[in-house]
Amino acid sequence: MLILVRRRLSVWLFYWQMTISLRPYFQINLIPGDAVKIRNLSLLQLCQVAVQLGNTLKDSNISFLSLQYLQTSESSLKEEMRAYDMEGVFMRRRGMNFLSLEVPGLAERRPSLVQGDFIVARYARNDARPYQGFIHKVEADEIFLKFDNQFHLNHNDRNQYHVSFTYNRLNMRRLYKSIHEAELLGPGILFPCQSPCRAVKKCPFKPLNPHINNEQANAVARILGCRGVPPYVIYGPPGTGKTMTIIEAILQLYTAKKAANILVCAASNAAADHVLEKLLLASYLIRPSDIFRLNAPSRQYEDVNADFIRFCFFEDRVFKCPPSQALMRYKIVISTYMSSSLLQAEGIRRGHFTHIFLDEAGQASEPEAMVPLSGLCGRDTVVVLAGDPKQLGPVVFCKQADKEGLGISYLQRLFFYFDQYRTGDPNYVTKLVKNYRCHPAILELPSELFYGGELIACKEDEVPSVYNCIGLPNKSFPVLFVGIQGCDEREGTNPSWFNRIEVSKVVSIIRNLTKGGAVSEVDIGVITPYRQQVAKIKKALEAFEMSDLKVGSVEQFQGQEREVIIISTVRSTVKHNEFDKFFNLGFLSNYQRFNVAITRAKSLLIVVGNPHIVTKDRHWDRLLRYCADNGSYQGCPLPPPESHSYSDETKYNEDQGGPAEWGCNQEEATNYNYNYNQEPSEFGLKCGSGVQSAATNNGTKWSEELPEDENLASNNAGIDPEEMPKQHVEERVEQGDVQPNECWTSDDQVHDACPEKFTFPPGWCDVSGIPASGWDD
DSSP SS3 for 81: helix
Q: Is residue 133 part of a domain?
A: no
Q: Check pLDDT > 90 for residue 262.
A: yes
C-alpha distances (whole Å) from 591 to each of 173, 194, 396, 480, 618 are 32, 32, 17, 20, 9
Work out the average pLDDT over 355-384.
92
Q: Is residue 181 part of a domain?
A: yes
Q: How confident is the model at residue 590 (pLDDT cuts 50, 70, 90)?
A: confident
Q: Check pLDDT > 80 for residue 67.
A: no
* Same domain (yes/no): 290, 418: yes
The Cα–Cα gap between 409 and 387 comes to 10
Work out the average pLDDT over 379-387.
94
The Cα–Cα gap between 488 and 464 comes to 34
Q: What is the pLDDT of residue 657?
A: 44
Strand locations in 458-570, DSSP E? 479-483, 490-491, 524-527, 550-552, 562-568
* Same domain (yes/no): 349, 491: no
Q: What is the pLDDT of residue 391?
A: 92
Domain containing residue 397: CATH number: 3.40.50.300
Q: What is the pLDDT of residue 723?
A: 52
Q: Check pLDDT > 60 for residue 699.
A: no
**Strand-pair partners of 318:** 315
DSSP SS3 for 379: coil
Q: What is the pLDDT of residue 108?
A: 61
Q: What is the pLDDT of residue 536?
A: 94
Q: What is the pLDDT of residue 78?
A: 75
**Strand-pair partners of 143:** 101, 138
With a CB cutoff of 8 Å and minimum separation 6, the contacts of 747 are none
* Same domain (yes/no): 481, 407: no
Q: What is the pLDDT of residue 66?
A: 63
Work out the average pLDDT over 195-222.
91
Q: Is residue 560 part of a domain?
A: yes
As a whole-number percent, the residues of the chain with pLDDT over 90 amount to: 43
* Same domain (yes/no): 488, 635: yes
Q: Using the CB atoms, write b or e for 159-169: b if 16+ within 10 Å.
A: eebbbbbebbe
Work out the average pLDDT over 709-713.
37
Work out the average pLDDT over 225-238.
93
> How many structural domains are present in the chain?
2
Q: How confident is the model at residue 677 (pLDDT cuts 50, 70, 90)?
A: very low
Q: Check pLDDT > 70 for residue 659.
A: no
Work out the average pLDDT over 663-676.
32
* Same domain (yes/no): 552, 628: yes
* Same domain (yes/no): 371, 520: no
Q: Is residue 85 part of a domain?
A: no
Decide which of 590 and 728 is more confident. 590
* Same domain (yes/no): 412, 551: no
Work out the average pLDDT over 36-62.
43
Q: Check pLDDT > 70 for residue 126.
A: no
Q: Is residue 221 part of a domain?
A: yes
Work out the average pLDDT over 696-723.
38
Q: Is residue 637 part of a domain?
A: yes
Q: How confident is the model at residue 167 (pLDDT cuts 50, 70, 90)?
A: confident
Q: How confident is the model at residue 173 (pLDDT cuts 50, 70, 90)?
A: confident
Q: How confident is the model at residue 744 (pLDDT cuts 50, 70, 90)?
A: very low
Q: What is the pLDDT of residue 318?
A: 87
Q: What is the pLDDT of residue 103?
A: 84
The Cα–Cα gap between 215 and 207 comes to 13
Average pLDDT score, the chain: 75
* Same domain (yes/no): 329, 411: yes
Q: How confident is the model at residue 133 (pLDDT cuts 50, 70, 90)?
A: very high
The Cα–Cα gap between 555 and 393 comes to 10
| pLDDT tens-digit map of 612-628 | 999 988 999 999 999 99
Helices (H), 364-450: 366-376, 399-401, 410-417, 419-422, 440-450
- Please tell me the least confidently modeled range out of 218-227, 235-244, 535-544, 708-717: 708-717
| pLDDT tens-digit map of 13-42 | 344 344 334 434 333 343 444 433 434 444
Q: What is the pLDDT of residue 125?
A: 76
Q: Is residue 294 part of a domain?
A: yes
Q: What is the pLDDT of residue 114?
A: 77
Q: How confident is the model at residue 107 (pLDDT cuts 50, 70, 90)?
A: low
Q: How confident is the model at residue 65 (pLDDT cuts 50, 70, 90)?
A: low
With a CB cutoff of 8 Å and minimum separation 6, the contacts of 637 are 483
Work out the average pLDDT over 138-156.
87
SS (H, E, C) 330-360: CCEEEEECCCCHHHHHCCCCCCCCCEEEECC
The Cα–Cα gap between 43 and 46 comes to 5
Among residues 635, 607, 629, which one has the least CA distance to residue 485? 635
pTM of this prediction? 0.74
DSSP SS3 for 22: helix
Q: What is the pLDDT of residue 476?
A: 92
Decide which of 51 and 67 is more confident. 67
* Same domain (yes/no): 407, 488: no
Work out the average pLDDT over 544-558.
89
Q: Is residue 149 part of a domain?
A: no
Work out the average pLDDT over 152-173.
87
* Same domain (yes/no): 431, 573: no
Last residue of a domain, one of 411, 435, 459: 435
The Cα–Cα gap between 565 and 603 comes to 9
Q: What is the pLDDT of residue 192?
A: 84
The Cα–Cα gap between 479 and 464 comes to 13
Q: How confident is the model at residue 559 (pLDDT cuts 50, 70, 90)?
A: confident
The Cα–Cα gap between 209 and 141 comes to 47
The Cα–Cα gap between 379 and 400 comes to 35
Q: Check pLDDT > 80 for residue 566.
A: yes
Q: What is the pLDDT of residue 176?
A: 83
DSSP SS3 for 422: helix
With a CB cutoff of 8 Å and minimum separation 6, the contacts of 539 are 772, 773
Q: What is the pLDDT of residue 575?
A: 59
* Same domain (yes/no): 412, 277: yes
DSSP string, 239-305: TS-HHHHHHHHHHHHHHH-TT--EEEEESSHHHHHHHHHHHHTTGGGS-GGGEEE---TTS-GGGS-
Indicate the burial class of 259 (C-beta count within 10 angstroms; 0-12, 13-18, 19 or more).
exposed
Handedness of CA 653, 659, 660, 661 (dihedral sign): negative
The Cα–Cα gap between 588 and 326 comes to 50
Q: What is the pLDDT of residue 770?
A: 34
Q: How is the beta sheet containing 92-94 ordered, strand by strand?
A: 86-90, 160-166, 118-123, 131-138, 142-146, 98-102, 92-94
With a CB cutoff of 8 Å and minimum separation 6, the contacts of 532 are 490, 491, 494, 496, 497, 498
* Same domain (yes/no): 612, 745: yes
The Cα–Cα gap between 359 and 777 comes to 44
Work out the average pLDDT over 212-230.
94
Q: How many CA atoms lie within 13 A of 114 on its CB side?
A: 27
Q: What is the pLDDT of residue 609?
A: 95
Q: Which domain holds residue 541?
A: 477-642+736-763
